[in-house]
Amino acid sequence: MGYYVLSVFGPAAQAGFGIGTRLLGLIQMPALAVALAAGPIAGQNFGAGNGARVRETFVKAALIATAVMVILLILAQLAPGLLLAGFSNDRETMAVASLFLRIVSLNMMAQGLIFTCSSMFQGLGNTKPVLWTSATRVLTYSLPSIWLSTWPGFRMEHVWYLSIATTTLQAGLSVWLLRREFSKRLVLPPRENVAEPTLVEPAVPPVREPA
C-alpha cells in the first residue's frame, strides 16, 4: 500500500520508503526476539496454573522490549544517516529514507508492545485477538492512506504520521484485549469452605492423693 500511495512522488520516494521499511524491520529484531521469548514462558506458567507468573512475564517482557526500542529510537532520531549508510548513493532516495526513519521510528515503543502482546496471546493459546488487531491496523491505515492521496496538498509525511496513529491504536487495543484475556483466563479458583479441625485437648487423668 505504501508503494502505491507514494508512486505519485516518483521512484526515489518509493526507493527511500523501501530502504527505510527494511531498515526499520531490521533494527526492531532485538525487541522482537525478547517478545517471542515471552510466549513460551507465559505458556508454561499458564499450563501450570500460575497466573501471577504469566502477568509478571508480560510486564517484564514489555519493559525490556520498550527499553530496547527507546535506545533504537534515540539512535534513529540522532543519527539516521549512520543507520542508512551504504544502502544507496542517490541523495534524493537517502533523504526520503532518512525522513521516513525519523518519523516512523516514533512508533517503535508501540510496536514493541504489539510484539509482546502477540507473543502472550500465543502463550495463552488464543491468537484471535492478534488477527483482530492486525485487521484493525490494516483497515485504519490502508483506506485513509488512499483517501489522503487524493488531497490537493498531499505529502508523503501524511502517510507516515497516519502510520504512527494506527500503530498506537493497535498497541492500545492489544493491551486492552490482553488485560481482558487475563481477567477471564487467569482467575484464581475459589477456595473451598472446609471446616477447620477443632483442637481437642487430651483428657488429663485425675491425680490421686496418697493414702
26 is a domain residue: yes
Which three-class secondary structure state does DSSP give residue 61?
Answer: helix
195 is a domain residue: no
96 is a domain residue: yes
User: Which residue, 62, 64, 34, is CA-closest to 182?
Assistant: 62
Look up the domain containing 62 and give its range: 2-185
199 is a domain residue: no
How many structural domains is the chain composed of?
1
| pTM for this entry | 0.80
Position 53 confidence tier, pLDDT thresholds 50, 70, 90: very high
Distance between CA atoms of residues 30 and 105, nearest Å = 15
Are the beta carbons of 162 and 145 closer than 8 angstroms?
yes
* 25-39, 86-100, 182-196: least confident range: 182-196
78 is a domain residue: yes
Average pLDDT over residues 165-194: 81
